[in-house]
Amino acid sequence: MSKDASGEKGVEKDYSKSASFRLLLRLVAPYRRLALLTVLALLCDITGMLYIPTELSALINTAVSSTDAGGMLAHGISMLVAAVVGSGGCLVSYWLASRLAARVGRDMRVAVYEKSLELGGYDFDQLGTGSMITRTLSDANVVQQTFLMTFIMLAPVPVICVVAIVLAFGIDYVMGWLLLAITLVMGAVMVVAVKVSAPIFLVLQGFIDNMNTRLRETITGIRVIRAFGREDAERRNLDATFEDYARNAIHVNLVFATADCMTFFLMNVVEVLVVWLGADRVGVHAMQIGSISALVEYAMLIMFFMMMGQFAILQLPRAMACLTRASEVLAVEPRVRDREAPAALVAADPTVPVARFDHVSFRFADADEDTLRDLSFSLSRGEVTAVIGSTGSGKSTIAKMLLRFHDVTDGRVEFLGRDVRGVGQHELRDHIAYVPQKAWLFSGTIAQNLRDGNPDATDEELWHAVDVAQGAFVHELPDGLDARVSQGGSNFSGGQRQRLAIARALARKADLYVFDDSFSALDYKTDARLRHAIRAELADAAVLIIAQRVSTIRDAAQIVVLRDGEVVGLGTHDELLATCPTYLAIAESQERGGDDDE
C-alpha cells in the first residue's frame, strides 16, 4: 500500500503522449467503421474540389483548340458531377465527423465518470473535486472539438497534397515537380511556424487561467479585501495579470500575423512561378494553356489547407493535455478493491457483534503519521456507540473504514464476523445505513432522495422515516414527498437537509446505522427528540454516532474518546467523566454556562 503511494508521483511523470494516444485509440476503436467512412467521404470531397479546376482548364483547352460545343458540354457535365460529388462528400464527411467526435467525447465523459465511481475516497480526494469536474466535462469537450477540427482541417492536408501533385504530374512532369517542391517548402515553413508558436500558445492559456483565478479571488474576497483596506494592492495585482495576458496575446497575434503574411508572400511567388514555367511548358507543347489556371488553383488549395492545418495543429497540444489528464484518472488503481470471489455476509448469531475494530491502524498514503492507531472496540446490536474527539482526531475516518471507503493499514475491521476486506463493497454497504457529515441531497424530489436509501420503500415507509427523523416540515410542503430538491439540497436549510439525510438512512433496513456528526445543525430540542425516536426505531440494530456535543451522546452505551487518532477513553458518560481527562475537558467546555440551569 505505502509502496503504491511513493510511486504516485513517478507514475504521473510517466504519463506522456503515449498514454494519451493510447486513450485516443481506445476511444476511437469502437467507431473504426465510422472513421473509415469519414475518411472516404473526405476523399470524395477533395477529389471533387480538385477535379473542378482540372475540368475547367480542359474546357478552356477544348475551347481554344476546337469549336466542339459538344465536348464543352461534356466538360460542363463532368464539372457538375465533380461539384456534386465533392460538396456532397464534404457535407457527408462533416456530418460523420461530427457524430464521431460527439461519440468520442461522450465515451470519454462516461468513462471518466464510471471510473470515478470505482475510486475510493482517498483516490478521489487526491484528484480533487474541481479537477475531476474539469476532467469529466470540459476536458472531454476540448478533445471532442479538437477531434472534429482534426478531421475538418488537418486530415485533408496530406490528401490534398498527394492528389494535387498526382494531378499535376498528369498534366506535365515539370509542373509536378514544381508542385512537389512548393508543398515541401510550404510544409517546412509550417513546421517552423508551429514550433515557434506552440509554446507561446500554451503559455497564453496559463495567462487566461490566471486572469480568471485572480478575478474570482478578488470578487469572492471583496469583504475581506475592503475590511483590511487592501483594495489598492488587489487592483495592482489584477492589472498586472491583465498586462501579462495582453503582452502575451499580442505576441501570439504577431506570430500569427507574421505566419499569415509569409504564406501570402509564398502564394505570390508560387503563382508567378507557375505562370512563368507554365508558359514555358506550353511553349514547348508539353501542356496546354488552360492548364495553367488549374495548376495555380492546385497550388493555392495546397497552401490554403496547410494554413488551416497549422491552426489545427496548434490546438493539438491542449487536447493532448486533456487526454493525458483523463488517462491519469483511468489509470488510477483504486486503493480499495474487491476480491475475485468476495464472501457473502450472513446474519450470524446475535452474540457476534455487528462490527468490530481489532487493533486497527490507518494511515493515508501520503501521510507521515497514522490517522488512527491501534483501535479496538465493538459495535453490538441494540447498542449505541458514540465517538467523540476534536477536529482532526480521526472520528470520521472510523465511519469510512466501516464502509470500506478506506481499508486498514494494520489490524482488521470485521462486519458480522467477517474481515470487511473479504466482503464485496456493495454487499457490505447494503448492510449499513450512513448519514454523512455533509448532508448532501441530489436534485430531484424528496422521495427520490429518500429512495436512494431504499429503492423499494413505499410512501408510507418514507413518511415513517421522515417522522422519525423529525422532518415535520415535509408535511407542510405543498408537494410533500414530491417537493423539489435543488442541487445539493440548497433550497433547504442546513437543519432540514440534515433531517432529510437522516430520513434517507432510516428508510433503509440495515444492521448498522452510522451518524457522522449528523446532528450539528439541529437545535438542542430537535436533537434530543431525534435521538429519542431513533433509539426506539433502531432497537435491533447497532448504532454508531460520531458527535461533537457531549449532550448528544451522554446516554450512549459506550463512548469512544479519540485524541490524535488514538483511543484515550472508552466507557459510559459517567465512567469517562471520572477516568478520562480529555472527555472531562470536552464536557466541561460545553456545559459551562449550562450548569446553573440544570
Of the candidate spans 213-221, 343-351, 375-383, 567-575, the one that interacts with another protein by CB under 8 A turns out to be 213-221
Q: How far apart are CA 174 and CA 292, in angstroms?
A: 12
How, if at all, do strands 432-435 and 512-516 pair?
parallel
Contact between 406 and another protein per CB under 8 A:
no
Q: Which of 110, 166, 196, 347 binds another protein (CB under 8 A)?
A: 110
Range 155-169 burial, b when 16+ CB lie within 10 A, else e: bbbebbbebbbebbe
Task: Report in angstroms how near the CB of residue 493 gets to another protein at its nearest.
Answer: 7
**The three three-digit cell numbers of residue 58, written as one number:** 480542359
Binding track, positions 423-442, relative to another protein; x by CB under 8 A: --xx--xx-x-x-x-x-xxx
Of the candidate spans 59-67, 324-332, 373-381, 413-421, the one that interacts with another protein by CB under 8 A turns out to be 59-67
Of 297 and 414, which has the nearer Cβ to another protein? 297
Task: Report in angstroms how near the CB of residue 425 gets to another protein at its nearest.
Answer: 8
Task: Report in angstroms how near the CB of residue 257 gets to another protein at its nearest.
Answer: 4
Q: How far apart are CA 206 and CA 211, in angstroms?
A: 9
State how far the alpha carbon of 23 is from the alpha carbons of 28, 315, 320, 323, 328, in Å: 9, 18, 10, 7, 10
Q: Which of 17, 216, 359, 532 binds another protein (CB under 8 A)?
A: 216
- Could you give the strand order of the β-sheet that contains 410-415, starting from the edge strand earlier in sequence? 372-379, 355-362, 410-415, 418-419
CB 499 within 8 A of CB 470: yes
Contact between 246 and another protein per CB under 8 A:
yes
How many Cβ atoms from other residues are within 10 Å of residue 436's Cβ?
A: 17
Contact between 144 and another protein per CB under 8 A:
yes
CB 387 within 8 A of CB 547: yes
Contact between 553 and another protein per CB under 8 A:
no
Binding track, positions 448-487, relative to another protein; x by CB under 8 A: ----xx---------------------------------x
Q: Give the footprint of another protein on residues 120-139 (CB under 8 A).
A: 121, 124-125, 128-130, 132-133, 136-137
CA 82 to chain centre: 44
Of 145 and 572, which has the nearer Cβ to another protein? 145
**The three three-digit cell numbers of residue 500, written as one number:** 432529510
Contact between 219 and another protein per CB under 8 A:
yes
How many Cβ atoms from other residues are within 10 Å of residue 481's Cβ?
A: 18
Q: Give the footprint of another protein on residues 266-295 (CB under 8 A).
A: 268-269, 271-272, 275-276, 279-280, 282-285, 289-290, 292-293
Q: Which of 196, 265, 410, 459 binds another protein (CB under 8 A)?
A: 265
Of 73 and 203, which has the nearer Cβ to another protein? 73
Q: Which of 2, 18, 205, 590 binds another protein (CB under 8 A)?
A: 590
Contact between 70 and another protein per CB under 8 A:
no
Binding track, positions 307-346, relative to another protein; x by CB under 8 A: ----------------------------------------
Q: How far apart are CA 23 and CA 38, in angstroms?
A: 20
Residue 399, Cβ density class (10 Å: 0-12 exposed, 13-18 middle, ≥19 buried): buried
Q: Give the footprint of another protein on residues 345-374 (CB under 8 A).
A: none
CB 122 within 8 A of CB 364: yes
Q: How far apart are CA 33 and CA 49, in angstroms?
A: 24
State how far the alpha carbon of 336 is from the alpha carbons of 10, 13, 328, 422, 470, in Å: 21, 23, 18, 11, 35
Contact between 378 and another protein per CB under 8 A:
no
Which amino acid is residue 342, in one-letter code?
Answer: P
Please name every residue paired with 362 in a beta bridge, in sequence order, or none if there are none.
Answer: 372
Instruction: Please list the alpha-helical segments (H only) found in 221-290.
Output: 222-227, 231-283
Q: Give the footprint of another protein on residues 34-53 (CB under 8 A).
A: 45, 52
Task: Report in angstroms how near the CB of residue 481 gets to another protein at its nearest.
Answer: 18
Of the candidate spans 17-25, 160-168, 238-246, 310-318, the one that interacts with another protein by CB under 8 A turns out to be 238-246
Of 192 and 250, which has the nearer Cβ to another protein? 250
Contact between 8 and another protein per CB under 8 A:
no
DSSP result, 18-34: HHHHHHHHHHHGGGHHH
Q: Which of 13, 341, 346, 391 binds another protein (CB under 8 A)?
A: 391
Of 574 and 596, which has the nearer Cβ to another protein? 596
Task: Report in angstroms how near the CB of residue 490 gets to another protein at its nearest.
Answer: 10
Contact between 238 and another protein per CB under 8 A:
yes
Q: Length of the chain, please? A: 598
Of the candidate spans 98-106, 160-168, 184-192, 532-540, the one that interacts with another protein by CB under 8 A turns out to be 98-106
Of 173 and 440, which has the nearer Cβ to another protein? 440
Q: Which of 46, 50, 79, 295 binds another protein (CB under 8 A)?
A: 79
Which amino acid is residue 473, in one-letter code?
Answer: F
